[in-house]
């Protein structure tokens, strides 16, 4: 069966520091991969999606970036974090046009 791993679960970072969140999927090949951000008590904002290795689409302008160095690995990065980057970051995978399956998420607090 397919599984999705996302880490770390919680992260506290100072303003201006770099960020790297990692997500890996097991049990499937060539999945669609997604990064979402959820502000407290709010909905899901799609940040990036990828339909294949090296293929990244950005949904909103921001100081974050994403990379897909391997088929089942999706990384969310920033060179310098802002206070506004705080939130709950969720990675998800899906087959094409099928339901999405989410990881446990990373709670990011910027101080």
Contact residues: another protein, CB under 8 A = 32, 41-44, 46, 49, 51, 57, 90, 96-97, 99-105
CB burial class (10 A; 0-12, 13-18, 19+) of residue 25? buried
The CA dihedral of 6, 93, 74, 3, to the nearest 10 degrees, is 40
Task: Provide the minimum distance between the beta carbon of 53 and another protein in the complex, in angstroms, as a whole number.
Answer: 15
Pick between residue 19 and residue 92 the one whose CB is nearest to another protein: 92
With a CB cutoff of 8 Å and minimum separation 6, the contacts of 69 are 53, 75
Task: Provide the minimum distance between the beta carbon of 80 and another protein in the complex, in angstroms, as a whole number.
Answer: 27
Task: Provide the minimum distance between the beta carbon of 74 and another protein in the complex, in angstroms, as a whole number.
Answer: 15
Pick between residue 49 and residue 74 the one whose CB is nearest to another protein: 49
């Amino acid at each position: 069966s397919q599984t999705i791993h996302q880490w770390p679960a919680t992260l506290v970072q100072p303003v201006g520091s770099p960020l790297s969140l990692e997500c890996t999927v097991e049990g499937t090949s060539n999945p669609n991969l997604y990064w979402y951000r959820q502000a407290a008590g709010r909905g899901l904002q799609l940040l990036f999606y990828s339909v294949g290795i090296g293929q990244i689409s950005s949904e909103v302008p921001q100081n974050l970036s994403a990379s897909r160095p391997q088929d089942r690995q999706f990384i969310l990065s920033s060179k310098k974090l802002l206070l506004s980057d705080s939130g709950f970051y969720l990675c998800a995978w899906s087959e094409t046009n099928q339901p999405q399956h989410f990881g446990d998420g990373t709670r990011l607090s910027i101080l």
